[in-house]
Amino acid sequence: MMYNVNLSPNEQTGIGFQHGKIVTRIILGFAFLAFVSFCLFQSDNSIKPIFLFLILVSLHIIVIHGLRHLIQHNNAKLGLAFDKKGITNNTADTSVFIPWTEIEDFQTGFYRANQQIFVKVSNPDKYHQLRRSAYLTFINRIGKFFRSKPDLLWIDVNLLDINEKHLLNLLHSKLEESRAD
């Protein structure tokens, strides 16, 4: 199934966040946080640093990847926005605009997790160096040790109100449409 979305030069359309998926992510995050906190209080001193680290990671996931997206959803912000110039990905920890002229392809498969689409661009290093808050810059620098592709180029389909197959078809048709212009 191919989508055809014709836009006027200043018109923007896109795909919204799915409220249920965001709330589920937050609930699971709090459940994990409660479990790890319980383990922290029941554990010996020798393994408490591990549980403290897990608490920090779960707080990061809840706040950055849960509450932030819930606020965006409540403010009617699109998870993925399209216009004639490119796409804006709001599913990453920092919103990023990617021009159609830089996009080479959209890839899916078993990369980081299920329901992830990677935006293959001509200059991926540019997206490692985007301005972020000090906290997110620090987290990104740590993350670079564990991945080769910039985290801002991943579209988290789990948050969007569309399935992966339909989104991939839509992205490919929009890319072809932009190349035809």
| Residue in 40, 80, 36 with CA at minimum distance from that of residue 61 | 36
Spatial distance between the Cα atoms of 55 and 122, rounded to a whole number of angstroms: 37
Contact status, residue 108 vs residue 128, Cβ threshold 8 Å: no
Q: pLDDT tens for residues 139-175?
A: 766 766 666 666 778 898 888 999 889 999 999 999 9
Q: pLDDT tens for residues 118-146?
A: 899 998 878 766 666 776 667 766 766 66
Three-state SS at 94: coil
Strands 78-82 vs 86-89: parallel, antiparallel or unpaired? antiparallel
DSSP symbol at 145: T
Does residue 68 or residue 181 have the better pLDDT?
68
Taking the model in full, what pTM does it have? 0.76
